[in-house]
Amino acid sequence: MQNETWQPPSVLLTVDLVILTLRSSALHVLLIERGIDPYKGELALPGGFIADAGEDVFDAACRELREEANLDATELHLEQLGAYGTPGRDPRGRIVSVAYLAIAPGLPEPEAGTDASAASWLPVEEFSQGRRQLAFDHRQILDDGLERARSKIEHTSLAAAFCDESFTIAELQRVYEAVWGFELDPRNFYRKVQAVPNFLAPVVPDRRITKGRPARLFRTGPQQILRPPMMRPLPPTQSEDEE
């Protein structure tokens, strides 16, 4: 236990964002090329220091979302991933980062001439087997964010956050396939999602023009928790050795 003159040490606080979206049926993450040291020129997650001692951490994540990605936090899903506080993770000193996961519908390229101009969408597939590195411990944060997304679309309605407000069941299926990296049977998927009570609510009018028969449109219903869950097929398991 500390004596009475002991003062607790202070740390610097940053937020980092794993922003995911679907582009051309592939999962992408928004990354920036760092313009300053440390890690100048390397890829990193968007983020930054909290603005002042009174700023809420969640508000800081919303602000960075706006400043670095031109995205409005009220229009997308934003949840905390966790705190990353290992000493030495940032060469500038003791910096603890609170990471957030954001999920956005398909979006245009970040506009040049804005603060977001250094940002670009990269396919997550390029980072999947350690093929490409990121600054700081951002590789770990990205992996944690991906696993969170993969896991949460199983038993929550999170997958709809990748879609526009109204969407077809085929569009929703493309989300699951991109995030999980598995192909799914469209006929079974169609019935499975509709069988979950209050997950999807039909939207009557404005159907879109496609090639074949037009699809029905849906929006998310009140049910956030999926029962039964959408179970992802297991990857090739080689543990078939029980009797």
Partner DNA sequence: TCAAAAGTGTTGATCGTACACCCATGA
Partner DNA sequence: TCATGGGTGTACGATCAACACTTTTGA
CB of 106 to DNA, least distance (A): 16
214 binds, among its own copies, DNA, none (CB under 5 to 8 A by kind): DNA
Cβ atoms of 68 and 81 closer than 8 Å: no
Number of residues that bind DNA (CB under 7 A): 22
Site for its own copies (CB under 8 A): which residue of 23, 34, 42, 57?
57
Which region, left, alpha or beta, applies to residue 39 given φ > 0 means left and ψ of -120 to 50 means alpha? left
CB of 43 to its own copies, least distance (A): 20
User: How crowded is the C-beta side of 174, counted as CA atoms within 13 Å?
Assistant: 16
Among 88, 231, 239, 243, binds DNA (CB under 7 A): 231
The CA-atom distances, in angstroms, between 152 and each of 102, 119, 149 are 13, 26, 5
Task: For residues 83 and 88, give the distance between their C-alpha atoms in angstroms, rounded to a whole number.
Answer: 14
Residue of 113, 211, 222, 235 that binds DNA (CB under 7 A):
211
Residue 10 touches which member of DNA, its own copies, none, C-beta under 5-8 Å by kind: its own copies
Q: Which residues contact 65 (CB under 8 A, 6 or more apart)?
A: 17, 19, 46, 71, 72, 73, 76, 78, 102
Q: Is the dihedral of CA 143, 148, 92, 117 positive or negative?
A: positive
For residue 85, the 8-state DSSP code is: -
Q: How far is the CB of 219 from DNA (least distance, A)?
A: 14
Scanning the structure block, which residue is given the tokens 């951490």? 57
| Residue 112 binds its own copies, judged by CB under 8 A | no
* 237: contact with DNA by CB under 7 A: no
State the nearest-atom distance from the C-beta of 241 to its own copies, in Å: 8
* 94 near its own copies, judged by CB under 8 A: yes
- Residue whose token pair is 């236990």: 1
211 binds, among DNA, its own copies, none (CB under 5 to 8 A by kind): DNA
- Where does this chain bind its own copies (CB under 8 A)? 1, 8-14, 49-58, 67, 80, 82-83, 85-87, 94, 96, 98, 115, 197-198, 223, 227, 234, 237, 239-240, 242
Residues that bind DNA (CB under 7 A): 168-170, 185-188, 190-192, 195, 209-216, 228, 231, 233
